[in-house]
Structure 1
Amino acid sequence: MPLLLTAILLGIVEGLTEFLPVSSTGHLILASELLGYKAETWATFNVVIQLGAILAVIVLYWRTFWAVATGLFQREPTSWRFLSNLLLAFLPAAVIGFLLHKQVEALLGNAIVVAVALILGGIAILVIEAAVKRATIEPGVAAMPASRALGIGVIQCLAMIPGVSRSGATIMGALALGVERRTAAEFSFFLAVPTMLGATTLEALKNREALTSGAVDWGLVGVGFVVAFLVAIVVIRWFVGLISKRGFAPFAWYRIIAGSAALVWLLAR
């Protein structure tokens, strides 16, 4: 397959799955198996194009980020609570990701782990959807108690297992902790910004020689970045509207079906 087409396809996969509870990393790993190339060859590419999806959050929610930034300078309590909740939720992944980076990286090449995690994650979503009837916390990121924000951050660490889904873990974890649906989804979007920036920075430091020696094709990275950004813009708008009406069950069944199909294919080939 031509490299340009591969970059476009991976950009589409990243943009489609980064903010849906289906695991973008898991899909990129399975895509590498399906397309027949080595995942490690595109590892840096896959991490960097995540910034395109993150930029989509910043563009769509720029008013929120701007209001928080100006509120911080004006010492508004709401803005400081927003920031502190975001940092508290980011902290567990930052610490564990730094300490267990090599162990997490070792799992990234295991497509069977991805398939099993997709299935188990789908079942978990169905269980949580059935168990959680109503929110117990007022809407809004700033209204969330600090303990709940930290709890969501701890749950996010499950996403270090490829196939678990960072957005799925944070959204469903938030619902289980009493956060209402729209706030849970938006908090997951906001939390993706520092989390993915941290992951990209760590990957850049690890591969700094490749990044500066010309081994990375920045043209392909740019294509993947732009494609991921454009697709993520559409997905985020659609996703927030969907979950307000239908919930997360469709994503759960998709995970179970896709994971089962992938597992059968991987074991049979």
Structure 2
Amino acid sequence: MSDIINSIIMGIVEGITEFLPVSSTGHLIVTQEILGFKGSDTFEIVIQLGGVLAVMWFYFQTLWQQASNIHSDKEAQRFWMGVILAFLPAAFVGLALHSYITEYLFNGVTVAISLIVGGIVMWWIEGRPQPVQQTTELAHVTPRQALAIGIAQLCSLIPGVSRSASTIMGGMLVGLNRPTATGFSFFLSIPTLGAASLYSLMKDLDGVGEHGLLNISIGLITSFVVSLLAIGWLLRYVSKNSFRGFAVYRIIAGLVILALTYSGFLQVSA
């Protein structure tokens, strides 16, 4: 299969799974193995930026308005202080453990177990009684809630857990309703994914040339377009539905990956 087609497939997988609570890293690891496409870390980082750009495009009007009035808009200041507060735990811990995680946890068994456990936790959270008073506006997310979401995001450092799942479920646990928790997760992705991508790119600029500028560009554009569609779809979905469907998918996907790994069909390792 040509690298161009592989780049498109990888971009589609990244775009769909980055913001759905199913783990983009886990799906990319397995997809690479199935395709026999040994993409570099830099390739994956660049197509991940497509998701960041999609969030910025989707919320462009809001971001522009906030940036224009940030000096006087107390709600915008409070909101972005919350986003930064939520970003810091993963920034520090991820930087400290990046090499260890890459070397020891990027494998099929870790991804499978993380998907299954995450699915069970998601099912449990959705089954809990909803609090009488919920946070229904992004501007009303408190620093305490933001920090709790940031701590929950630490779980996503394990491949297969999902950044979206950990932050959305963390938000729901501390009183955000589904749409607000989902929206906060989207905004949190801007510094989280952006910083991770820039850090990794600075460490491996030479990796950009491994697959050619054309292939990387195709993967980036594909990821951007598909991410944009996924963001809009997920916001519509969570306004009327729970995440239990994703919980079931995670458990089934985890069991399948586990079976394929132990059967030798998938030989996913770091």
Q: TM-score range by the shorter chain?
A: over 0.9
**Match runs of 1:123-202 below 5 Å:** 123-134=120-131, 136-202=133-199
Q: TM-score, normalised by structure 1?
A: 0.94
- The residue aligned with 1:101 is 98
Alpha-carbon separation, structure 2, partners of 1:181 and 1:20: 13
Alpha-carbon separation, structure 2, partners of 1:131 and 1:42: 41
AA in 1 matched with 2:230? V
Identity of aligned residues (%): 41
- The residue aligned with 1:29 is 29
Q: Structure 1 pair 135/178, CA: closer, same or farther in 2 (3 Å)?
A: farther
CA contact (8 A) 1:85 1:141 kept: no
Q: Which region of structure 1 is more displaced relative to structure 2, 107-116 or 82-91? A: 107-116
Q: Structure 1 pair 49/234, CA: closer, same or farther in 2 (3 Å)?
A: same
Contiguous gaps of at least 5 residues in structure 2: 265-270
Q: Structure 1 pair 46/19, CA: closer, same or farther in 2 (3 Å)?
A: same
CA contact (8 A) 2:23 2:163 kept: yes
Instruction: Give the C-alpha shift of residue 216 in structure 1.
Output: 4.5
CA contact (8 A) 1:107 1:161 kept: no
CA contact (8 A) 2:135 2:175 kept: no
1:266 pairs with 252, 258, 261, which one? 261
- The residue aligned with 2:17 is 17
Give the match's secondary structure for 1:261.
helix
Q: Deviations over 1:22-79 (max 9, x none)?
A: 00011000111222343xx432111111111111111111121112112213x22101
CA contact (8 A) 2:82 2:146 kept: yes
Aligned length: 264
- The residue aligned with 1:251 is 246
CA contact (8 A) 1:22 1:118 kept: yes
Contiguous gaps of at least 5 residues in structure 1: none
Alpha-carbon separation, structure 2, partners of 1:203 and 1:131: 38
Q: Deviations over 1:238-266 (max 9, x none)?
A: 11111111110111000011110111011
